[in-house]
Amino acid sequence: MSAGFSTLATASATLLGLVLVAVIFAYRSVFTRLDRIADFHELARWIWTSGFSCFMYFGACLLIAFRMMDRDVGKPTLVWILALFSAALLVAHVMETYYLHSMARLNRRGFKNLVAVQDALIALVLAVFEVMSWLAVFKTSPAAFELELYTALTYTLFLASFRSVALVVFSFRAITLLEQVDQTPDSSLFT
């Protein structure tokens, strides 16, 4: 199982770089259109917190995979790591949802689908990470614990990777929607 966790750590480290590139790419796109965007601050905060939450998923997978490669790691150490990442992820997701919803007030009709998909992705990735990781902790057999934790981290890595790519697409869509706010008055702002 050590080889599996080694591969998982390698994939996590690679995906950490993907998130950094995606966030930088999204910010670069924002800066080229800065004069045409209605509310840059909310967009920047949303991109940052969304990228940070994806970064934390990959960081959690990387840290736990490295700890699992060490044969002397105990469950209490992993419980603390999971608890810290769980708390940090909850805070990051609350903040990114807040920024997205406050930005969506500028163009309710345009942001409706983006908000729905983004909220669903957040809930899905968080639920998979939390439920599967914590269920793995409660396994009594060391082999079952390792297998369940490996499975949980693999699914988390897959879903967080998908969410990272979706974040780039969603940030471009948000930029387009915010540009439209300045060009045409939106009647939903007054209702």
pTM: 0.80
Q: What is the pLDDT of residue 125?
A: 96
pLDDT in tens, 96-120: 999 999 888 888 888 899 999 999 9
CA 107, CA 79: separation in Å to the nearest integer?
Answer: 42
Say how many residues make up the chain. Answer: 191
CA 66, CA 85: separation in Å to the nearest integer?
Answer: 15
Confidence of residue 5 (pLDDT cuts 50, 70, 90): low
pLDDT at 191 > cutoff 50 = no
Q: What is the mean pLDDT of the chain?
A: 81
- What distances in angstroms separate CA 90 from CA 50, 81, 87, one per listed residue? 12, 14, 5
pLDDT in tens, 146-170: 899 989 999 998 899 889 888 888 8
Report CA Rg, the chain. Answer: 19
Average pLDDT over residues 30-35: 56
Phi, psi for 47 (deg, rounded to 5):
-60, -40
pLDDT at 177 > cutoff 90 = no
